[in-house]
């Protein structure tokens, strides 16, 4: 599976899986950026990201933690 900046929900799921012990309320947009780039499945240009995209990943991750499946 290939991930890009439009795959905010899929990225959020992968970050949730990899960083399950992280307190989401302490995660920064910079951390989301760094962790997303570190995903082996991620194949997009790092220069194409903006804060809105990073925040969308954060929101998807947060919503999964609150309302998603375990």
pLDDT in tens, 33-61: 999 999 999 999 999 999 999 999 999 99
C-alpha distances in Å from residue 13, one per residue of 17, 33, 66: 6, 14, 13
Contact criterion met (CB below 8 Å) for 32 and 54: yes
Beta partners for residue 42, in sequence order: 3
pTM as predicted: 0.93
Q: Sorting pLDDT into bands at 50, 70 and 90, what band is 68? A: confident
pLDDT in tens, 6-20: 999 999 999 999 999
Classified as helix, coil or strand, 3 is strand
Tokens of 53: 């995209």
Whether 70 has a pLDDT exceeding 60, the answer reads no
Q: Which residues of 37-51 are buried (b: 16+ CB within 10 A; e: fewer)?
A: eeeeebebeeeebee
In the CATH scheme, what architecture does the domain 8-67 have? Orthogonal Bundle (1.10)
């Amino acid at each position: 599976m290939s991930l890009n900046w439009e795959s905010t929900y899929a990225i959020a799921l992968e970050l949730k899986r990899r960083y399950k012990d992280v307190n989401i309320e302490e995660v920064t947009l910079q951390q989301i950026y760094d962790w997303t780039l570190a995903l082996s499945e991620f194949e997009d240009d790092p220069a194409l990201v903006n804060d809105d995209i990073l925040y969308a990943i954060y929101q998807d991750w947060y919503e999964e933690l609150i309302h998603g499946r375990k």
